[in-house]
Amino acid sequence: MEFPFDLAPVLGPERFCVVDQHLRPAGRGGGGGAEREQQLEQRLRTVIDELGKASAKAQGLSTPVTSAARMESNRHVLYMLRDTRPPRGAVLGFLKVGYKKLFLLDQDGSHVEVEPLCVLDFYVHESQQRRGLGRELFREMLQRERMAPQRLAVDRPSPKLLGFLDKHFGLCRPIPQVNNFVIFEGFFSTRTGGF
């Protein structure tokens, strides 16, 4: 996804750009004065809003799950994957995660209150899907969050995401839930790290 401005000053120089509620990418340089800062933040808002809209469209949702305003009011983390080639670069996709308190059913059907890391929104540009970019984004997130894939809860996964999780992480046996979240075998295991 391309934008009518150079993405490097907005998102920083790296292939991965990580943004939280402060909307200030780690690699973004300072300097240039308050006006320049304001312009960069406005551009970052545009990038996040447009990505959110594209993801919603791809999933057939009427309202985007991801926007700059939503990022500011939640403690979510947005991982963006970029093509850094000049002149302007492009955003190839994004993955949004965050911790949420959930009541989940374990294998015995008992309610358990947990606060897992949740996959909230995930999108790779239509022209770039099925090239391994989704896996690259997901692996980067797991590494930075120090998380095992089976410890994640997934909010309303699309059929494509279910196929993706099965293919790359062997997550194929969901534990049925009454809410929209999906968890997989191994979620409640005490042998792996997590919440």
Positions in the binding site for ligand ACO (CB under 6 A): 58-59, 119, 121-124, 129-135, 154-158, 160-161, 163-164, 167
Name, in order, each residue with C-beta under 8 angstroms of 158's C-beta and a sequence gap of 6 or more: 59
Alpha carbon of residue 134 to chain centroid = 10
Minimum separation from the CB atom of position 53 to ligand ACO (A): 12
Minimum separation from the CB atom of position 192 to ligand ACO (A): 21
Task: Say whether 11 sits in a helix, a strand or coil.
Answer: helix
In the bound state with ligand ACO, the residue whose beta carbon lies nearer, of 40 and 118, is: 118
Q: Which residue has the tokens 């305003």?
A: 69
DSSP codes, 127-156: GGTTSSHHHHHHHHHHHHHT--GGG-EEES
Q: Any idea what DSSP says for residue 41?
A: H
DSSP codes, 110-122: -EEEE--EEEEEE
Query: How many angstroms separate the Cα of 104 from the Cα of each of 116, 126, 183?
Result: 10, 33, 9
In the bound state with ligand ACO, the residue whose beta carbon lies nearer, of 130 and 191, is: 130
Minimum separation from the CB atom of position 180 to ligand ACO (A): 9
In the bound state with ligand ACO, the residue whose beta carbon lies nearer, of 39 and 129, is: 129
In the bound state with ligand ACO, the residue whose beta carbon lies nearer, of 40 and 104, is: 104
Minimum separation from the CB atom of position 31 to ligand ACO (A): 35
In the bound state with ligand ACO, the residue whose beta carbon lies nearer, of 28 and 164, is: 164
Minimum separation from the CB atom of position 185 to ligand ACO (A): 18
Residue number closest to ligand ACO, CB atom: 134
